[in-house]
Amino acid sequence: MVESFRTTATPKPASMNPIQAARAAGQQVWLDNLSRALINEGLLARHIENGVAGVTTNPAIFHKAIADGHDYRPALDALNGENLSAEQRYERLVIEDVQRACDLIRPVFDASQGDAGYVSLEVSPALADDEAGTVAAARRLRAAVARDNLLVKIPATAAGVRAIETLTGEGVSINVTLMFSLGHVDAVAGAYQRGLDKLAAAGGDVSRVRSVASVFLSRWDSLIDKQLEEIGSDAALALRGQAGVALARQAYQRYLARFHGAGFAALTAKGARPQSMLWASTGTKNTAYSDLMYVEPLIGAETVNTLPDATLAAFADHGQVRAGTVTEDVDGAAAHIAALAALGLDLEVLGERLQQDGLAQFATAFGKLLELTA
């Protein structure tokens, strides 16, 4: 076990809310949502005032925003008069939202010297297996948004990992999405480090690059619980509801070993930032479990947790913050993964399945999104 951060209670003033307390414990809380209504009605600004330090988006989020929101109708009507494809219309809409969100949260970016205050925008899901297409799209979106605090979102497919290395080498800040296994964690971290090495060798400023690696959690327990229930033994049923947290705790140990170890020291000396672990898919899907089961046990230094609206509201209302919970019982996390393996559940194989399922879901949402902008 690699242990660089000590678990301690986090005293906080009575005026400090749980989001701010998490930040004091080293974890940034980001909002997993963005819409024109959130911006226009001042809700995003209030979230930022309450301590939210970033924003993430995906095709499903934008589909819901545009389908449900009257705020987009005037802009869509105006775009219909231009000779644009459905995807170009979509990008015009969401780039404006992302630019406005970047500007709203820019003071957080400035105050943290580029550690926090980011907004993520994803490349088209159709490019998941297209390395060259991903690189070109990331360059284009970065130029179009033209904000220092943009993270281009790229999936951790084999092609995506190669694109991440290339883009990091060009100084592009990236949110790596759809990570489901320790194999994904290692591949993505390696690509980031190699990209930084290339940037440094070319005389680039590695300190200006920010990256987060998004490990999806709730989908694990949805899948694993179903398989454990099919097995049906008492031993199997006792393992339900723990896979997501166990995987995250193991991933964080990999993070500590790589980015706080000797292998990253030369880049650290040049001002490079570690690639932060980001906990994604953190809304609890099984109502029998705690609504904060992917939040309270995973607070750790240099981490990010991106929360959908309901989970953010729950955390702000009754979240309990204790620093370093992500480093608690890491031996138990390893034992849990081993127990699943003993039952025939291979998390690397299942991780690939979950990634493909996630890509399919985003592709479907993106297709429906383009129907709205056609």
- Look up residue 202 and give its two tokens: 């070319």
Kindly calculate the radius of gyration of the chain based on its CA atoms and give it in whole angstroms.
Answer: 20
- Look up residue 185 and give its two tokens: 């964690």
C-alpha 33/C-alpha 282 separation (Å) is 13
Smallest CA-to-CA distance from 97 within 149, 45, 145 is with: 145
**Structure-token match 């690699």, residue found:** 2
Element (H, E) at 305: strand 303-307
* Backbone conformation region of residue 273, classed left if phi is above 0, alpha if psi is from -120 to 50, else beta: beta
Contact call for residues 10 and 306 (beta carbons, < 8 A): no
Residue 362 C-alpha from the chain's centroid:
15
- Look up residue 116 and give its two tokens: 């926090």
- Look up residue 272 and give its two tokens: 């490079």
Element (H, E) at 277: strand 276-280
Smallest CA-to-CA distance from 133 within 118, 155, 116 is with: 155
- Look up residue 113 and give its two tokens: 């010297």
The SS3 call for residue 61 is: helix
Concerning whether 198 is annotated as a catalytic residue, the answer is: no
Contact call for residues 143 and 115 (beta carbons, < 8 A): no
Question: Which residue in the list 153, 198, 270, 368 is annotated as catalytic?
Answer: 153
Contact call for residues 365 and 124 (beta carbons, < 8 A): no
C-alpha 372/C-alpha 171 separation (Å) is 34
What are the catalytic residues? 153
